[in-house]
Amino acid sequence: MKTKSFNTYKVSKEHAGLTVENYLKQVLQYSGRQIQKLTRRKGILLNGKTVYLQKKVKPDDTLRVIVDGDNAYGVQPEQGPVEILYEDDYLLVINKPAYQLVHPTGHTTSGTLANYLAYHLEQRGIICTIRAVHRLDRETSGCIIFAKDARSQFLLEQQLAARTLKRTYWALVKGSVSPPAGTIDAPIGPHPHFANRRAVTAHGDPAITHYQTVRSFPEATLLELTLDTGRTHQIRVHLAHIGYPVIGDGMYGVRSPWIGRQALHASFVSFRHLQDQRELTVHAPLPADFAHAIEQAQICKKAQAE
C-alpha cells in the first residue's frame, strides 16, 4: 500500500490568527475546490491531528497537507547521466549538458533530460511526473528546474511571473559591446520567413533582457544576462538584434571554430524555497567547451597586444 505523503508548513507570527481555511487560501494559495478535496480525504493536519477549517492557527503551529501523488513519469524512463545541482522535497535543479533536449519533441522520443531524470527517480523509488518549470535550447547548457509535483510547479511558475525566480546566463558574443551594460526592450514574435525562428517584430510579445559586461576582448565580449520575460530564443534574438550575436550561433549569427555550439550557458538560478521562503541560489559550473572559447578570445587578445 502506498504511503501518504505530506507537505509540512510552520506557521509564522505574521500569519497567527488566520483560520486554517484562510491560511490555506492566502498563504499556501490552495483553491476552494482543492481545500474541499483535502477535507474529504482528511488530508489537513494541525499539530498532527485532523482539524476544522475555521480553527485559528498560532505561531509555530505545524500544518501538514497531503500531497496528491503522481502515478506516472509522463515520459519513458531511460538510463543516462543526470547531474543534480540541488534537490529538496519540491524540486530539482539539473545541470543540462549542451546538445540535449529537455523533453521529447517531434520525432525525438528518447535521450532527453526528462527521460534520464525519470530513470534516475525510478531507481530511487520516486514516482512523479517530469515537470520542467522553464526551458533551455538544445545547445544551451546549465541550470534547469524541475518540479516534483503539480503544486510546486504552480508556485514556481508564480515566482517566475513575479520575477522572484531569476535566471542568469553567460554568453560570449561577437564584437566589443557598447555600452558595456544595458537593457534590450524589443518585442519578439515569429520570423516572417522561417517557421523555426523568432525575430524582433512590432507585433511580437514583450521581451526584456538585461546585460552587463563580465570581460572584454578585442573580438568578443563575455556578458552576464538576466531576463524579465522568457520568449523562445530571447537572448539569441535580442543580442543579434543589437549587433552582437552569440558566438557559435548558426541560426542568428555564424558558427565559430572556438566552440561547436552557441556559447550560451544558464549559469545560475535563484528562487525562494517553497517551504520557508529563504532565497536560494544554485550555480552550474562553466562547461569545458565554453571555457575553451573564452581562452580562444583571450589568445586573440594577447596576439593583438604583441
Distance CA 155, CA 272 (A): 10
- Please check whether residue 64 is in contact with residue 28, taking contact to mean a CB–CB distance below 8 angstroms: no
pLDDT of the residue at 1: 37
Query: Greatest CA separation found in the chain?
Result: 78
Give the distance, in angstroms, between the CA of residue 10 and the centroid of all CA atoms in the same chain: 26
Q: Domains in the chain, please, with CATH?
A: 6-66 (3.10.290.10), 83-300 (3.30.2350.10)
Among 258, 263, 223, 246, smallest CA distance to 174 is for 246
pTM: 0.79
Residues in the chain with pLDDT values less than 50: 1-2
Cα-Cα end-to-end distance for the chain: 73
pLDDT of the residue at 6: 81
pLDDT of the residue at 291: 97
pLDDT of the residue at 73: 84
- Tell me whether residue 185 is one of the annotated catalytic residues: no
- Record the cell numbers describing residue 257, joined without a space: 571554430
Catalytic residue (choose from 61, 137, 149, 249): 137
CA angle 219, 224, 230 (to 5 degrees): 120
Contacts of 238 (CB under 8 A, 6+ apart): 184, 186, 188, 200, 207, 209
Structure confidence by residue, pLDDT tens digits, 132-165: 999 899 999 999 999 998 888 888 988 998 999 9
DSSP assignment letter at 94: E
- Record the cell numbers describing residue 55, joined without a space: 480553527
